[in-house]
Structure 1
Amino acid sequence: MTSRLVSKGAVNVFLLIAAVYTLLPLTWLLFASTKSLSDLYSTPGFALSDLNLGANLSAVAAEGDGIFFRWYVNSLLYAGGGAALGALISVACGYAFDKYDWRGKERLFGLVLLGVLVPTTATAIPLYLLVSKVGLVNSFWSVFIPALVHPFGVYLARVLSTGYVPGEVLEAARSDGAGEIRTFVSVALPMLRAAYVTIFLFQFTGIWNNFFLPLVMLSDQHLFPLSLGLYSWNTQVTAFPEYSTLVITGSLLSVVPLLLVFVFLQRFWRAGMTAGSVK
């Protein structure tokens, strides 16, 4: 009994240390965003000073005629639209790999798994060359369309389809006269709701934090996502120190959508991550 309590206590201590370590950067960001430029460099990182958050927010909104909020909308379109459509494509592909048989299926799925191993930064230059061939460089679509492809989402959707969608239910729907598309949309897709949300969260986070692909594709700052826009401000900090508070406050605002998405969708995400564990 004593050894069990010690073991449980050690695990809890380790988890507490991990949680504190994870929250330290966000806590520093929260403190730093409330400071003026002089306090930012003259006070300790986790020390409170005169609350200057309102002035910092006003400065962010005023800089470049409100260009920050244009970046914000761009990121929401890239990440929200790309994740919503991309997750649907991944679920449909995973469902097809799971429920249908065709020649060369496993070989094709092996190529999908190979895509999981390739880092996204390695594909940015080839994608740029392909996009330039069709004349879409420096456009919204040059960032949006590549975000729809998510090999890990296809793999995860296949695994979750195995655990969530019984073959007997699909056969019953087909016996009632439903076609394959109707069966997928009306029967399988509702069962894969948790899988869809899980993939959506992975893809939303990945697109929201994507930096290298927009850096390669875009030169018009009105098309920048937040990651690239804040980077452009950060490059000017050496010459213009006042950009430090803009970058910090903008970084704090950029975290808000990720927190909201995970808070409101966490029950589906948790269900999706545990799917198949009891099977």
Structure 2
Amino acid sequence: MATARPQPAAAAGRRRPHRPRPQLVPTIVLLVGAVYCLLPVAWVLVAATKSGSSLFSTFTFAPGDALFANIAELSAYRGGQFWRWVANTALYAGVGAAASAALSGLSGYTLAKYDFVGRSAIFNMLLAGVLVPGVILAVPQYLLLAKVGLADTYWSVLLPSIISPYGIYLARIYAAAAVPDTVIEAARTDGAGEFRIFRQVAVPMMVPGLITVFLFQFVAIWNNFLLPFIMLADDDKFPVTLGLYTLLNQGSTTPALYSLVITGSLLSIIPLVALFLSLQRYWRIDLLSGSIKA
């Protein structure tokens, strides 16, 4: 009976480790998606550097030299009206997102860590609220706020932005995973009250999740157009999206305003990029802590 001969050690040493082949199709799909998303941004970046006369004369990605002139002209429009729109947007997005993150964190923590009658029904209603588009709620919200005299005020944009069913859902999921029940019981044993436990124990553990809720809501409010369009009539209260829309409508009779709209669009995305770059460290800290726990 023949027996298998062992392979020499030299032959075994010559074997190359198996390397996974790169998945070509997913890589191509991701590249196409990245180009599709970034191409309009690149065009806005280039178009903002061109003057009004050369903006639509030739379609090229060659940058011009009129960026600072366009910014100066935009800043001088109606005595700096554009920067007032930016300040209004920062107010709506900053205050609305901060209040939404705080309310979502408290609501999500309550749904995750307390057992009370109707908890499942409330959570199911929140899930149903996630599926309802904001477009459907805009007109009823306007009618309610107009009934109490808050239409065409800052509150008419701020109040509907505070409650976010999706933010509460994310906070509930994150609180259930990030805040151990044993830590809460230990704090109760030490005599801490429920709100103190939430403020001093749960909130530090939920910071990455709350930052995510804040970012999602900030971007949603910053880019919101329909709600301010319905709620506001005074252009001094307009956010930047609605303000640029009014400039775009005037561009049909004054084509020189098109370059101002494009320049304003470029300037309006800079705060979002800066916010993401400044807050992404919280996600890195959370991933690092997760790997240490694992």
TM-score by length of 1: 0.94
What is the CA deviation profile of residues 102-137 of structure 1, one whole-angstrom value per residue up to 9, with x for unaligned ones? 111110111111110110111000000110111000
Matched to 1:167, the amino acid is D
Identical pairs, percent: 47
1:170 Cα deviation from its structure 2 partner = 0.5
2:157 aligned with 1:143:
yes
2:102 aligned with 1:75:
no
Q: Which runs of 5+ in 2 are unaligned?
A: 1-16
Q: Which runs of 5+ in 1 are unaligned?
A: none
What are the residue-to-residue correspondences of 1:192-211 with 2, within 5 Å? Answer: 192-211=206-225
Give yes or no for contact 1:163–1:276 (8 Å, CA) kept in 2: no
What is the aligned counterpart of 2:194 among 170, 180, 185?
Answer: 180
Give the structure 2 partner of residue 5 of structure 1.
Answer: 21
What are the residue-to-residue correspondences of 1:77-92 with 2, within 5 Å? Answer: 77-92=91-106
Name the SS of the counterpart of 1:239 in structure 2. coil
What are the residue-to-residue correspondences of 1:76-225 with 2, within 5 Å? Answer: 76-225=90-239
Structure 1's 197 and 6: CA in aligned 2 closer, same or farther, altered over 3 A? closer
Give yes or no for contact 1:68–1:229 (8 Å, CA) kept in 2: yes
Give yes or no for contact 1:80–1:204 (8 Å, CA) kept in 2: yes
Higher-Rg structure is 2
1:12 Cα deviation from its structure 2 partner = 2.7
Matched to 2:194, the amino acid is E
- Could you tell me how far apart the structure 2 residues matched to 1:196 and 1:270 are? 14
Give yes or no for contact 1:198–1:268 (8 Å, CA) kept in 2: no
- Could you tell me how far apart the structure 1 residues matched to 2:289 and 2:166 are? 16
What is the CA deviation profile of residues 133-165 of structure 1, one whole-angstrom value per residue up to 9, with x for unaligned ones? 110000000101110010000001010011100
- Could you tell me how far apart the structure 1 residues matched to 2:101 and 2:57 are? 46
Name the SS of the counterpart of 1:123 in structure 2. helix
Name the SS of the counterpart of 1:41 in structure 2. coil
Give the structure 2 partner of residue 43 of structure 1.
Answer: 58
Give the structure 1 partner of residue 13 of structure 2.
Answer: none
2:251 aligned with 1:228:
no
1:262 Cα deviation from its structure 2 partner = 0.8
2:71 aligned with 1:57:
yes
TM-score by length of 2: 0.89
1:41 Cα deviation from its structure 2 partner = 1.1
- Could you tell me how far apart the structure 2 residues matched to 1:140 and 1:200 are? 20
Matched to 1:139, the amino acid is T
Name the SS of the counterpart of 1:234 in structure 2. helix
Give the structure 1 partner of residue 48 of structure 2.
Answer: 33
Structure 1's 188 and 6: CA in aligned 2 closer, same or farther, altered over 3 A? closer
Structure 1's 236 and 138: CA in aligned 2 closer, same or farther, altered over 3 A? same
